[in-house]
Structure 1
């Protein structure tokens, strides 16, 4: 029996992935020859927190050393670039309706790679705080936050579902032992060959998949 449903945030509750991709491209606009590589990296590594992405881009793509202070400054600039747009991003179809209709039926939680204070502010500004008993973000990773949510809600991994849109989300669920439902954007091959519990284009189809789990 499913007792808890845990959501990633960007790309699962809000259609905000493109906002953050655009911010990365803006921050690295001085490296036009590497932009395509950076875009490809971002596409394949949704779910990784922004600081890890900065470090990986500098190390593996730009092949340049970067100081911790510079990473922190990039994080501040990134927040300034994305906060307003994410706050105004549309909901993934079906997300708001599902959350509002099911917050008493299930324990609802969020596990995101967004820095937790920023995530909590956005959730509050979108009028969603009342529906979630846990809202967890970076610096903890997905698996750590998922395990923390299980402990707080006193549910077993098999009694929870995690809904995400990236391989990092899937890996976090796998490490925590939680069944995983993939939100798959049409045309994406992110989850090809991955044994997910179910795949949905938006959250309108979530109720139907959950009924098969009861």
Structure 2
């Protein structure tokens, strides 16, 4: 019986994956369209990876530049300034807010996201959904560590927890901790099409969880 649901944030609760893509385009705009294309291709194929890891990878692999800590912080702040307001006003994934409000007494809710910790706390408070979640975890900590902490602090067994995400990294984190994974399939993202449990939006989530 499922007791707890761990949600990714971007692309699962809020339709904000495109906002992050816009931010990466903005950051790498001065390097030209070829670099932007490489950045966005990697970004879309590697959802769930923190922006810090992506900045380091993009600069080293595409530009031949090793970022200093100060440079990484500057890029991250620029990125954050761009995305927070846009994510605060981004629409919810269809069915997400309804599911969260309707079922929060039935299940424990947690968030595990690649968004920086301070930023996801600001966003959930602004959207007034923080009250529904027992815990909210962001980067730089890895998602498998989030899951481990959630399970240990709440004494959940593996068959009592489900993770819903929209990326291969979400699936990998859930598999590492041997918990059920539900994939959110959207648009051109085909990475999770073969998942046993999948939804096109969260209006379908309740029916899927009842099958577990």
Q: TM-score, normalising length from structure 2?
A: 0.96
For 1:66 and 1:109, locate their aligned partners in 2 and report how far apart those are by CA, in whole Å: 33
User: Is the contact made by 2:185 and 2:193 (CA closer than 8 Å) also made in structure 1?
Assistant: no
SS in structure 2 of the partner of residue 66 of structure 1: coil
Q: What's the RMSD between the two structures over aligned residues? A: 1.1
- The residue that corresponds to 1:26 in the other structure is 26
Q: Is the Cα–Cα contact under 8 Å of residues 110 and 135 in structure 1 kept in the other structure?
A: yes
Could you tell me how far apart the structure 1 residues matched to 2:129 and 2:50 are?
22
Report the equivalent of 2:110: 109
Give the CA deviation at 1:63.
2.2
| 8 Å contact from structure 2 (residues 117, 139) kept in 1 | yes
Correspondence for 1:200: 199
User: Structure 1 length as normaliser, TM-score?
Assistant: 0.95
State the SS of the aligned residue for 2:29: coil
Equivalent-residue separation in structure 1 for 2:177 and 2:191 (angstroms): 20
In the alignment, structure 1 segments of 5+ residues that lack a partner are none
Which secondary structure state, in structure 2, belongs to the residue aligned with residue 53 of structure 1? helix
Q: CA deviation at 1:192?
A: 4.5
SS at match of 2:30: coil
Number of the residue aligned with 1:17: 17
The separation in 1 between residues aligned to 2:118 and 2:177, in whole angstroms, is 23
Find the counterpart in structure 1 of residue 3 from structure 2.
3
Alignment check: 8 A CA contact 2:3 2:160 kept = yes
Deviates more, 1:150-159 or 1:108-117: 150-159
Q: CA deviation at 1:50?
A: 0.6
In 2, distance between residues paired with 1:187 and 1:75? Answer: 27
The separation in 2 between residues aligned to 1:197 and 1:140, in whole angstroms, is 28
2:188 and 2:29 map into 1 onto residues whose CA distance is 27
Which residue in 1 is equivalent to 2:56? 55
Q: Deviations for 1:76-113, whole angstroms, at most 9, x for unmatched residues? A: 11110001000111000000000001111011110111
Tell me the distance in 2 between the aligned counterparts of 1:20 and 1:107.
28
Instruction: State how far apart, in whole Å, the 2-side matches of 1:160 and 1:39 are.
Output: 32
Instruction: Determine the structure 1 residue equivalent to 2:180.
Output: 179
- How do residues 1-214 of structure 1 correspond to structure 2 at under 5 angstroms? 1-32=1-32, 33-193=34-194, 196-213=195-212
Cα shift at 1:54: 0.2
Structure 2: distance between partners of 1:10 and 1:187? 15
- The 1-side partners of 2:159 and 2:63 are apart by 42
**Deviations along 1:50-75, whole A, 9 cap, x unmatched?**
10000010111222222121011101
Q: Deviations over 1:9-67 (max 9, x none)?
A: 01000001100110011000011131111110001111000100000101112222221
The question of whether the paired residues in 2 share the 8 Å contact of 1:179 and 1:197 is answered with no
Would you say how many aligned residue pairs link Structure 1 and Structure 2?
211
**Tell me, what secondary structure is at the counterpart of 2:136?**
strand
